[in-house]
């Protein structure tokens, strides 16, 4: 077991063993130290939030937004570490989906058509997944395979222990996309993080006035299966992680153009929906990596070693 894995194990154990106020204060203090230190992740978050809020926001207000953003990210980690120790009732009360979203997803699951939900890296997506499972709905998603392998396996066990089916992006018994198609056709909820994909396979979109790449998976799955496609907004309230969903998005029909064109159009609609939610709650967007294609500089493409294996929209 290497030091990174030991750090995760210690975090999980201590966060669950100590009272929540004590743990919350420690994580908040760590976020404030990161803000004062102004390291690479903090600088990247600052640059990303500047693009979200525009050039008009005074620098002092942006600095306060960055501080609140780091506190929100620390809260995500603190709550993620504590999730396995929560009861079903606590999982259900610790996350709130807007009532119209609950009704739509319930109807989709009951009808057996499933649903694709495009998520931002915001709020607490692990709490959202645990809530779906605790509600009694089948849920399947995809996690990128990262090194060290021990950390990746612990995150798989963590999310599977919360009731989620987690597929690796590669190395599984079957291609993840094919499994997701099957799960949707059997009525599962398929949430996929969809706001960042700098791989060569990503779809170029306009996002807050600049070009970036987003994964094709959510749009392609919806077009392939006809499952409803929603775009989530996720944020924190003092007492709970919260979300709302917009949609279902209109799916382009086959007469509107070839498949790649339809995927591009639908992915742009996803980007528009994600940007609207992020603009409402920028402090809860946990994007500490390079986001736009015109960003350059140190650390501009790598995921920090402390980042979790994220559920990804690249299927």
Paired tokens of 218: 């959510």
CA distances from 150 to 6, 93, 147, 243, 257 (A): 10, 31, 8, 31, 44
Q: What is the pLDDT of residue 80?
A: 86
pLDDT-above-90 percentage for the chain: 66
Q: What is the pLDDT of residue 19?
A: 81
Is 307 contained in some domain? no
Helix (H) or strand (E) segment spanning residue 165? strand 165-168
Is 62 contained in some domain? no
**229 is in which domain, residue-wise?**
87-284
Is 45 contained in some domain? no
Paired tokens of 236: 């924190």
263, burial (CB in 10 Å: exposed 0-12, middle 13-18, buried 19+): buried
Is 264 contained in some domain? yes
Q: What is the pLDDT of residue 118?
A: 98
Residue 298 has pLDDT above 50, yes or no: no
Q: Are 291 and 196 in contact (CB under 8 A)?
A: yes
Is 254 contained in some domain? yes
Paired tokens of 198: 């700098």
Q: What is the pLDDT of residue 55?
A: 94
Is 2 contained in some domain? no
Residue 210 has pLDDT above 50, yes or no: yes
Is 198 contained in some domain? yes
pLDDT single digits (tens) 80-104: 888 888 899 999 999 999 999 999 9
Q: How confident is the model at residue 143 (pLDDT cuts 50, 70, 90)?
A: confident
Q: What is the pLDDT of residue 99?
A: 96
* Omega within 30 of 0 (cis) for the link into 160: no
Ramachandran angles phi, psi of 293, nearest 5°: -70, -20
Is 298 contained in some domain? no
Residue 61 has pLDDT above 60, yes or no: yes
CA distances from 211 to 13, 31, 51, 106, 197 (A): 41, 30, 12, 35, 12
Average pLDDT, rounded, for the chain: 87
Residue count of the chain, please give it: 315
Find the mean pLDDT for residues 164-182.
Answer: 88
Helix (H) or strand (E) segment spanning residue 231? strand 229-237
Q: What is the pLDDT of residue 84?
A: 85
The span from the CA of 255 to the CA of 303, in Å, is 40
Count the domains in the chain.
1
Residue 315 has pLDDT above 50, yes or no: no
- Which of 2-11, 25-34, 74-83, 142-151 is the least confident region? 2-11
Q: What is the pLDDT of residue 273?
A: 98
Q: What beta strand segments (E) does 194-228 contain?
A: 203-207, 210-214
pLDDT-above-70 percentage for the chain: 86
Paired tokens of 177: 């996309």
């Amino acid at each position: 077991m290497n030091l990174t894995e030991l750090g995760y194990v210690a975090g999980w154990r201590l966060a669950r063993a100590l009272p929540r106020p004590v743990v919350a204060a420690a994580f908040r203090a760590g976020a404030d130290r990161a803000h004062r230190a102004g390291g690479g992740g903090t600088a990247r978050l600052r640059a990303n939030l500047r693009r979200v809020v525009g050039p008009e926001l005074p620098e002092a207000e942006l600095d306060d937004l960055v501080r609140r953003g780091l506190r929100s990210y620390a809260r995500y980690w603190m709550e993620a570490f504590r999730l396995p120790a929560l009861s079903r009732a606590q999982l259900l009360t610790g996350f709130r989906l807007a009532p119209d979203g609950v009704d739509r997803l319930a109807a989709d699951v009951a009808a057996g058509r499933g649903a694709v939900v495009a998520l931002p890296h915001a709020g607490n997506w692990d709490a959202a997944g645990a809530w779906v499972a605790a509600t009694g709905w089948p849920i399947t998603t995809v996690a990128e395979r990262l090194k060290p392998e021990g950390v990746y396996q612990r995150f798989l066990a963590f999310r599977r222990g919360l009731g989620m089916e987690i597929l690796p992006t590669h190395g599984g018994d079957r291609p993840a996309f094919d499994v997701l198609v099957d799960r949707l056709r059997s009525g599962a909820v398929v949430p996929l993080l969809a706001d960042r994909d700098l791989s060569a396979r990503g779809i170029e979109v306009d996002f807050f006035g600049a070009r970036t790449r987003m994964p094709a998976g959510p749009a392609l799955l919806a077009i392939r299966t006809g499952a409803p496609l929603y775009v989530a907004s996720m944020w924190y309230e003092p007492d709970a992680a919260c979300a709302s969903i917009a949609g279902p998005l209109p799916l382009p029909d086959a007469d509107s153009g070839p498949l790649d064109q339809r995927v591009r159009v639908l992915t742009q609609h996803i980007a528009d929906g994600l940007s609207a939610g992020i603009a409402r709650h920028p402090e809860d967007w946990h994007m500490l990596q390079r986001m736009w294609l015109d960003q350059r500089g140190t650390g501009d493409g790598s995921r920090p070693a402390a980042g979790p294996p994220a559920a990804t929209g690249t299927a």
